[in-house]
Amino acid sequence: MPKLRFKAFGEATNRIPVDMNGEGKAESLVDIFAINVFDRPKMKKYLSEEAYESIITSIDEGKKIDRKIAGQVASAMKAWAIERGATHYTHWFHPLNGSTAEKHDAFLSIDIKGQPIEVFKGDMLVQQEPDASSFPSGGIRNTFEARGYTAWDPTSPAFILENTLCIPTVFVSYTGEALDFKTPLLKSLALLDKAALSVLEYFDKDARKVYATLGWEQEYFLIDESLYNARPDLALCGRTLMGHAAAKDQQLEDHYFGSIPARVSAFMRHFEVEALKLGIPIKTRHNEVAPNQFECAPIFEEANLAVDHNQLIMSLMDRIARQHGFRVLFHEKPFKGINGSGKHNNWSMMTDTGTNLLSPGKTPKNNLQFLTFLINTIKAVHDHSALLLGSIASEPNSHRLGAHEAPPAIMSVFIGKTLSAVLDELEQKVTDQKMTPDEKTELKLEIIGKIPEILLDNTDRNRTSPFAFTGNRFEFRAVGSSGSCASPMIVLNTAVANQLMKFKDEVDKVIAKGIKKDEAIIQCLRKVIIESKKIRFEGNGYSQEWVDEAARRGLPNISNPLEAFKTFLLDSSVKLLTGNGILTKRELEARYEIRNEIFVKKVQIEARVLGDLAINHIIPTAIAYQNTLISNVKGLKELFPNEWEKLADHQHALILEISEHIHAISHQVNEMIERRKEANQVEDIVEKAHLYGKNVKPYIESIRTHIDKLEMIVDDEMWPLPKYREMLFIR
């Protein structure tokens, strides 16, 4: 009798919504917003005027921070943090394993007289040396230079999490190579700022800075903690490696935007309040398509901060879910047969004067500006579509992409009928010849001038597109739910910046030939429209016709993550990233290796867990049930010596069927172990990943098929693992 499964199910059904005893409740959301963040108002309060001005200028202008000022900021931070109950501090960073890392130190120290004091100095704020030898480095940190250090990122404010003052930092090796996501992200943001500003010189001379904005939407599953603990595959791999589909899951589409179960909404309220205290402007919550799947989204922010906030909210949700008897799953495909989870990255560019560069304006001039940024973004995606796919590729995300629930593994851009028509008209009506005044007027009034009124009600949605324009921003939908937002943002920022710089050069050349600015811009835009045309697609991204059409257009279709990782090393990628000083060749190669390494580890862990479950849980259960069938058949034979064969034909058939599945499972598990051993002999990580992908991974699916068949045969009372129908419907 599988006690654990039924005990877990009993616990799950009897749980009631957790009353938060005041915690997670709040009188006014405005009052609690950012109370745990050392933001500008707090800096102003705790710093001298001179120090405040100095630090703000350094942050806004990206200048080096004076040592003396750093000392003053540190002591202000310490005073504020201690007042709010903090006892420890940590440098908080994003190593390349995709999680966050921290090592806490107490403020407490002992002075020369042996008395306890609280210390937090400028140098402790500015730099730390965590023992980081176990973070992935892709060979950058060999044993002789095993040290890495973290350095303060003053553009992302410090915050308090559970009595610890957390200081966002970059993480680099002693030889200066980036070991994290933040370092190249910051470089890409600075590059985009510079490039966009240079193009803005044509339109808007007031802007002094351009920010990339990011508004992520985070999908996730919730599962009852007891059921989670009764599923070793979920606990160790984050996804179910077996489990027959429930008779009902998402067919009726009754979960999407349905009412939120009480236990879930108690959890949501709780983490939202905690998120708001951390300055994360969380705004939206709703059910998603699959049962037990949900989504949250904040108001967009400057991209570096938004990336930090996404990392932060994932760890916050994980922690708070436990207090509600839940586990939160960020895996891209926790359950077979129903939708997986993604993370939509809504991206745009915004000036310090508050103009969204991807928002159509009210005048033809503003619209020309809008079109310039829109069209150049499309071209950037066109030029680096493969690398963009690479940036979001991972073993778990490959279960989701191209599965008719998330974008295909083909990159394309959707802009909607109206804008497509505008781009097509620009392509047809503009020539390299000087325009007549009439032509100019027509272009300005009929094409460019018309954008806002028609766009307002025409931002049609195409959910099958990986990169869709949604009225005032692009939405990159291929990002995986567990992945870092930083990786795709680095590529997108850099690709767009690079294209804007090229565009600026082109336009300047035309202007130098004596053509007026507006006309030069329009002529160059037409060229860019033509050059990037093949990336535009308005149809159904899930259809076979698109797969065929994309192949005809020569667009990359990369569904295998190992192939996607290779895009890091394409000549065009190396040129883009190294040429613009975002990542060196060595850093890129390291990142490539790390992705392969993580792939190997994920498949290896899944293969081990599956082998264990198959041999130690499933086969013994199947044998036990088979034995009851055998004694039943024997009994029938004894009682009814003449008719037993007819009477026992169902049992007989099952006994054989069970044997066949047991045989297949044990045989395949042995094979899988052999293939693993072979792959483990290989030193080269890329070759090893290849072997894991080709020889080990397929067994995970094929073994599962037999187990899922057994689940349908074996007496429900005997089945050891919680079933899909039990896990997927929270009461």
Binding site for ligand ADP (CB under 6 A): 213-215, 217, 284, 297-300, 346-348, 356, 472-473, 475
Task: Transcribe 224-279 into DSSP letters.
Answer: EHHHHHT-HHHHHHSS-S--PPPSSSSTT--STT-PPPHHHHHHHHHHHHHHHHTT
Amino acid symbol at 326: F
Least Å distance, CB 2 to ligand ADP, is 40
Based on CB atoms, which residue is closest to ligand ADP, 231 or 473? 473
Based on CB atoms, which residue is closest to ligand ADP, 173 or 310? 310
Angle, CA 235 vertex, CA 230 and CA 237 arms, to 5°: 135
HSE-up (13 A, CA, CB side) for residue 199: 34
Distance, CA of 327 to CA of 342 (rounded, Å): 17
Q: Which stretch binds Mg ion (CB under 5 A): 217-225, 486-494, 591-599, 714-722?
A: 217-225
Task: Please provide the distance, in angstroms rounded to a whole number, between the alpha carbons at the two ends of the chain.
Answer: 25
Q: Which pairs with CB-CB distance under 8 Å and at least 24 residues apart come from 722-725?
A: 722/5, 722/8, 722/9, 722/227, 722/230, 722/231, 723/243, 723/244, 723/246, 724/240, 724/243, 724/244, 724/245, 724/246, 724/249, 724/335, 725/246, 725/247, 725/248
Least Å distance, CB 354 to ligand ADP, is 11
3-state secondary structure 56-76: HHHHHHCCCCCHHHHHHHHHH
Distance, CA of 112 to CA of 667 (rounded, Å): 69
Least Å distance, CB 349 to ligand ADP, is 8
By DSSP bridging, strand 343-351 and strand 474-476 are: antiparallel
Q: Which stretch binds Mg ion (CB under 5 A): 182-190, 210-218, 330-338, 372-380?
A: 210-218
Give me the residue whose beta carbon is nearest to Mg ion.
Answer: 344
Burial class (CB in 10 A: 0-12, 13-18, 19+), 119: middle
Q: Are 717 and 619 in contact (CB under 8 A)?
A: no
Least Å distance, CB 223 to Mg ion, is 24
478 touches, from Mg ion, ligand ADP, none (C-beta below 5 to 8 Å by class): none
Least Å distance, CB 344 to Mg ion, is 4
94 touches, from Mg ion, ligand ADP, none (C-beta below 5 to 8 Å by class): none
Based on CB atoms, which residue is closest to ligand ADP, 175 or 284? 284
Please report whether residue 239 would count as binding Mg ion according to CB under 5 A.
no
Structure tokens at 125: 């704020």
Least Å distance, CB 463 to Mg ion, is 9
Based on CB atoms, which residue is closest to ligand ADP, 185 or 619? 185
Name which of 529, 518, 368 is nearest 440 in CA terms.
518
Least Å distance, CB 217 to Mg ion, is 5
Least Å distance, CB 397 to Mg ion, is 17
659 touches, from Mg ion, ligand ADP, none (C-beta below 5 to 8 Å by class): none
Least Å distance, CB 486 to Mg ion, is 19
Q: Are 155 and 163 in contact (CB under 8 A)?
A: no
Based on CB atoms, which residue is closest to Mg ion, 125 or 413? 413
Least Å distance, CB 606 to ligand ADP, is 31
Based on CB atoms, which residue is closest to ligand ADP, 346 or 621? 346
300 touches, from Mg ion, ligand ADP, none (C-beta below 5 to 8 Å by class): ligand ADP
Based on CB atoms, which residue is closest to ligand ADP, 159 or 300? 300
Name which of 731, 718, 715, 704 is nearest 245 in CA terms.
704
Based on CB atoms, which residue is closest to ligand ADP, 110 or 299? 299
Based on CB atoms, which residue is closest to ligand ADP, 90 or 355? 355
- Virtual torsion, Cα 164, 165, 168, 170, nearest 10 deg: -70
Based on CB atoms, which residue is closest to ligand ADP, 164 or 348? 348
347 touches, from Mg ion, ligand ADP, none (C-beta below 5 to 8 Å by class): ligand ADP
Distance, CA of 406 to CA of 481 (rounded, Å): 12
Based on CB atoms, which residue is closest to Mg ion, 243 or 407? 407
Please report whether residue 141 would count as binding Mg ion according to CB under 5 A.
no
Please report whether residue 344 would count as binding Mg ion according to CB under 5 A.
yes
Distance, CA of 521 to CA of 526 (rounded, Å): 9
Least Å distance, CB 166 to Mg ion, is 29
Q: Where are the alpha helices (DSSP H) in 146-201?
A: 182-200
299 touches, from ligand ADP, Mg ion, none (C-beta below 5 to 8 Å by class): ligand ADP
Specify which residues 170 forms β-bridges with.
151
297 touches, from ligand ADP, Mg ion, none (C-beta below 5 to 8 Å by class): ligand ADP
Least Å distance, CB 295 to Mg ion, is 9
Angle, CA 102 vertex, CA 100 and CA 108 arms, to 5°: 160
Amino acid symbol at 125: L
Based on CB atoms, which residue is closest to ligand ADP, 57 or 284? 284
215 touches, from ligand ADP, Mg ion, none (C-beta below 5 to 8 Å by class): ligand ADP
Least Å distance, CB 356 to ligand ADP, is 5
Least Å distance, CB 475 to Mg ion, is 5
Please report whether residue 704 would count as binding Mg ion according to CB under 5 A.
no
Instruction: Give exposure, 548-578, as e/b (b: 16+ Cβ within 10 Å).
Output: ebbeeeebbbbeebbbbbbbbeeeebbebbe
476 touches, from ligand ADP, Mg ion, none (C-beta below 5 to 8 Å by class): none
Specify which residues 93 forms β-bridges with.
101
Q: Which stretch binds Mg ion (CB under 5 A): 340-348, 426-434, 550-558, 655-663?
A: 340-348
Site residue total, Mg ion (CB under 5 A): 2
Based on CB atoms, which residue is closest to Mg ion, 217 or 711? 217
Distance, CA of 491 to CA of 192 (rounded, Å): 11
HSE-up (13 A, CA, CB side) for residue 222: 30
Based on CB atoms, which residue is closest to ligand ADP, 278 or 507? 278
Q: Which stretch binds Mg ion (CB under 5 A): 113-121, 214-222, 489-497, 696-704?
A: 214-222
Under the rule (CB under 5 A), what is the footprint of Mg ion?
Answer: 217, 344
